[in-house]
A = this chain, B = another copy of it.
């Protein structure tokens, strides 16, 4: 859309709109911002702890791969959104990161308002994406697919529950996050039942 306008206008428009670019450097990615939030939430912590939290999440969005997190936190430090000092556990060296005042400001800005355009979207749901093309599958494959999807949603519900048990006690917003997961999973299940009815 932005692209379909004249090039010159687009360039000006992009830079001008939505405050995507902060004064210094480009806008933070979702992963960078989320990491910032985790450091705020956990207090001073090592990249490994951040990774553990991500991997415990029911969302595969946050893979918490080392190759992403270590350089990312270094980047955030270079931008003075995090600060770090060396620490150790026994003989093992760690680096402990804490959030700075600027980091907190950046976190608040990311949360919004304003919400960036990309946040005004339906969620990304890999089951929905696949269902769109079920017409390309054989009837047998469709039935099996629905069965698998039901199982998947059951496992997801369990993951949400487990996450709630482990981390939901943090603050009231963490509890609301779980609640979102519950309501959403319920909605997806009802949807899948409708799909099964239509095809059954």
State how many residues of chain A have any CB contact under 8 Å with chain B.
75
Q: Which residues of B contact A194 (CB under 8 A)?
A: 176, 179
A111 contact from B107, B123, B134, B176, Cβ within 8 A: B134
Bound CA span A48–B118, Å? 21
> 0/1 per residue, A174-196, Cβ < 8 Å to B?
10110111011111101100110
A58 contact from B121, B159, B198, Cβ within 8 A: B121
CB distance from A124 to the nearest CB of B (A): 4
Is A21 an interface residue when CB atoms closer than 8 A count as contact? no
Residues facing B in A113-135 (CB within 8 A) are: 113-115, 117-135
Secondary structure class of chain A's binding surface, majority of residues: helix
Bound CA span A156–B136, Å? 28
On whether A148 and B181 interact (CB within 8 A), knowing A60-B118, A122-B58, the answer reads: no
On whether A40 and B191 interact (CB within 8 A), knowing A120-B155, A148-B114, the answer reads: no
